[in-house]
């Protein structure tokens, strides 16, 4: 299981993975890590957690895309500049 959720405080994402042991304790079987350094570091750590550690390589791309969408949605919106009208020439 690889879950990517937005962080409750609105900064960064949570990466949720399953432990190898403890299948008889489903309540404490999930581990969540907060990734809030910057977008590039967060996406790299998701890639390392899924693919490079041989955890769930098939879910790597989906997890990275989901995290990128959450990070993109947390960026501040740019203020739209008001259009200026030209002065009338006399």
The pairing of beta strand 2-6 with beta strand 13-18: antiparallel
User: Is residue 81 included in any domain, yes or no?
Assistant: no
Task: Output the domain CATH number for residue 66.
Answer: 3.30.390.110
User: Is residue 80 included in any domain, yes or no?
Assistant: no
Stated pTM of the model = 0.76
- Give how many domains the chain has, as a whole number: 1
Q: What are phi and psi of 35, to 5 degrees?
A: -115, 110
d(CA 82, CA 15): 40
Segment holding 31, helix H or strand E: strand 30-35
Q: How confident is the model at residue 51 (pLDDT cuts 50, 70, 90)?
A: confident
Order the strands of the 2-6 sheet from edge to edge.
Answer: 2-6, 13-18, 30-35
User: Is residue 39 included in any domain, yes or no?
Assistant: yes
Residue 46's pLDDT is what?
A: 92
């Amino acid at each position: 299981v690889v879950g990517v959720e937005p962080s409750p405080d609105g900064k960064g994402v949570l990466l949720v993975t399953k432990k190898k042991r403890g299948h008889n304790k489903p309540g404490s079987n999930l581990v969540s890590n907060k990734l809030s350094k910057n977008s590039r570091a967060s996406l790299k750590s998701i890639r390392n957690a899924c693919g490079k550690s041989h955890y769930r390589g098939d879910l790597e791309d989906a997890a990275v895309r989901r995290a990128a969408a959450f990070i993109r949605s947390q960026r501040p919106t740019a203020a739209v500049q008001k259009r200026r009208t030209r002065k009338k020439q006399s």
